[in-house]
């Protein structure tokens, strides 16, 4: 991801771009149609995991507009949505399976 290093530099535009991008991907990760595609990209998953563990996040918080979540929160949400052990996803899949078999 081109903007991965945005947290390490002083370019506010790059930081805002990364924040917006992570919020968009987080929104996409709620849709079951895209989960497999997101999970199949190993480089993407490594990048998201590194953003969750980034210690520089506290410094960037001041640049997050009120209508967006921080990069770390969005990255954590993405990983939660892609995890098959997520209870919400399991319940949705059971409902879907039941509806299809009914």
Note the pLDDT tens digit of each residue in 19-76: 899 999 999 999 989 999 999 999 999 999 988 887 664 554 556 777 899 888 999 9
Residue 12: what pLDDT? 80
87-102 as b/e, with b when 16 or more CB fall inside 10 Å?
eebeeeeeeeeeeeee
Decide: pTM greater than 0.75.
no
Number of domains in the chain: 1
The boundaries of the domain holding residue 70 are 4-101
Identify which has the larger pLDDT, 95 or 57.
95
Q: pLDDT digit string (tens) for 5-34?
A: 666 677 788 888 888 999 999 999 999 899
């Amino acid at each position: 991801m081109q903007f991965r290093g945005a947290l390490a530099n002083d370019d506010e535009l790059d930081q805002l771009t990364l924040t917006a991008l992570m919020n968009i991907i987080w929104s996409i990760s709620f849709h079951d149609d895209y989960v497999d595609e997101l999970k199949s990209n190993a480089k993407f998953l490594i990048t998201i995991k590194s953003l969750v563990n980034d210690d520089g996040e506290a410094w960037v918080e001041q640049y997050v507009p009120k209508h967006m979540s921080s990069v770390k929160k969005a990255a954590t949400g993405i990983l939660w949505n892609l995890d098959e052990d997520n209870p919400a996803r399991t319940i949705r899949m059971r409902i879907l399976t039941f509806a299809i078999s009914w």
